[in-house]
């Protein structure tokens, strides 16, 4: 039997947590012969609900699940962790400015970055889901002294999956036939789902879908606004699809990317790709290599339309960074 992989999840008693933990415990991240430990982190008010979640995990008797540790102590929660999935954050409330939200959540991710640096395994990788996830991930990475910045990610995979689904529905293809779909920039309403390089059944999307007005208009808007549409329909924000995207992200980061394809995740920009500024977490086309490291896919064509969209979303990330600059050590 292999040694267990330890996964820490913050916000574990929340709605994404509830859709995520049972899939991790059943082997969705690392396959059917890889045991896992779960370290589940909540703030004090969330601990009673978390107790109930742990009781349900017990009652599933998952063969792959070894240890489950529920805690509100960050040191305990990140001890020995190989994968930190940072889901918990404070939602935006009525009257709250974006800068307030950035500041409140930023403080959470300062402490979590420090605790990851102090307690996690040397191969730790961190995926931030809690919003505003790109800038939260930047704060976390900046405060995790000694942990390489290429080990931090922010989730844009839900946006990629949403975009693939929209293109499949429009063309009548199956969503698994849609490849090379990159989300550029921020996980927010400025994100750019790049249809110009996406393919359906190996053909350029623009050859399969001739309705350019739809691609440049409703398609992009639908993907950008999908989160709000789910809230309007369900009365609660996307949870199962968000948990699913978190699983897809980790699976894509631990397995080699199929030849010629890429996946979307926000990574720390070192300033050397596509003119994107250094020192922000920006979503780009990413390929995972056979040794488990990743690289930015080079040479993806960026036309004038795409460049305008990418500039807008990168501009927003720079503004967010400016709003939390006090939380980012030089
Ligand atoms: P939720 O409100 O149901 O659960 C959040 C949980 O986090 C709560 O149980 C809360 O007690 C906990 N929490 C708050 N602060 C914490 C802290 N400092 N440490 C540990 N736990 C903490 O929210 P839900 O629906 O599970 O969403 C979680 C986050 O994921 C939200 O920020 C949401 O905006 C974001 N999200 C991100 C998506 C993406 O694509 N990146 C998609 C959907 C949601």
- ipTM, two decimals, is 0.99
Quick one: pLDDT at residue 110? 96
Percentages (nearest 5) of helix, strand, coil residues in the chain: 45, 20, 35
Q: Given the CA of residue 18, which atom of ligand 1 is nearest to it?
A: 26
- Gap from CA of 154 to ligand 1 centroid (Å): 14
> Locate tokens 């390489």: which residue?
148
Task: Say what the pTM is.
Answer: 0.98
Decide: 178 and 160 in contact? Cβ < 8 Å. Answer: no
Annotated binding-site residue numbers for substrate: 92, 98, 131, 162
Q: Given the CA of residue 154, which atom of ligand 1 is nearest to it?
A: 41
Cα gap 167→141, rounded to integer Å? 34
| Local structure of residue 122 (DSSP, 8 states) | T
Catalogue the active-site residues.
187
- Give the model's confidence band at 164: pLDDT under 50 very low, under 70 low, under 90 confident, else very high: very high
Query: pLDDT tens, 192-250?
Result: 999 999 999 999 999 999 999 999 999 999 999 999 999 999 999 999 999 999 999 99
| Local structure of residue 219 (DSSP, 8 states) | I
* Residue 90 CB less than 6 A away from ligand 1: yes
Cα gap 146→114, rounded to integer Å? 10
Q: Which of 35, 22, 34, 26 is nearest to 67 (CA)?
A: 35
Among the residue ranges 69-73, 93-97, 290-294, 298-302, the one predicted with the least confidence is 93-97
Q: Given the CA of residue 49, which atom of ligand 1 is nearest to it?
A: 9
* Percent residues over pLDDT 90 in the chain: 93
What does the pLDDT average to over 169-177? 97
In this structure, what token pair is assigned to residue 163? 């975009």
* pLDDT exceeds 80 at position 64: yes
Annotated binding-site residue numbers: 11-17, 92, 98, 105, 112, 129-131, 162
* Long-range contacts from 214-218, C-beta under 8 angstroms, 24+ separation: 214/170, 216/305
């Amino acid at each position: 039997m292999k040694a267990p992989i330890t996964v820490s999840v913050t916000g574990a008693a929340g709605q994404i947590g509830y859709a995520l933990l049972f899939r991790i415990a059943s082997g969705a991240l690392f396959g059917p012969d890889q045991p896992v430990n779960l370290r589940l982190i909540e703030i004090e008010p969330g601990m009673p609900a978390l107790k109930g979640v742990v009781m349900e995990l017990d009652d599933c008797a998952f063969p792959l699940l070894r240890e489950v540790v529920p805690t509100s102590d960050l040191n305990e929660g990140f001890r020995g962790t190989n994968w930190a999935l940072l889901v918990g954050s404070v939602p935006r409330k009525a009257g709250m400015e974006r800068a307030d939200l950035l500041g409140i959540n930023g403080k959470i991710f300062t402490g979590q970055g420090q605790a990851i640096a102090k307690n996690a395994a040397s191969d730790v990788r961190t995926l931030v889901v809690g919003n505003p996830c790109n800038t939260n991930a930047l704060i976390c990475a900046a405060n995790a002294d000694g942990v390489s910045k290429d080990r931090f990610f922010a989730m844009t995979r839900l946006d990629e999956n949403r975009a693939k689904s929209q293109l499949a529905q429009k063309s009548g293809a199956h969503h698994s036939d849609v490849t090379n779909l990159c989300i550029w920039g921020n996980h927010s309403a400025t994100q750019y789902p790049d249809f110009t390089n996406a393919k359906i059944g190996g053909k350029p999307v623009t050859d399969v879908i001739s309705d350019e007005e739809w691609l440049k208009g409703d398609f992009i808007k639908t993907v950008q606004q999908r989160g709000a549409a789910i809230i309007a329909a369900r009365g609660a924000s996307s949870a199962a699809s968000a948990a699913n995207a978190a699983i897809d992200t980790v699976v894509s980061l631990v397995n080699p990317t199929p030849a010629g394809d890429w996946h979307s995740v926000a990574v720390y920009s070192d300033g050397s790709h596509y003119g994107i500024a250094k020192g922000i977490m920006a979503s780009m086309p990413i390929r995972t290599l056979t040794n488990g490291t990743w690289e930015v896919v080079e040479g993806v064509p960026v036309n004038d339309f795409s460049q305008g969209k990418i500039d807008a979303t990168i501009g927003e990330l720079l503004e967010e960074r400016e709003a939390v600059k006090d939380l980012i050590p030089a």
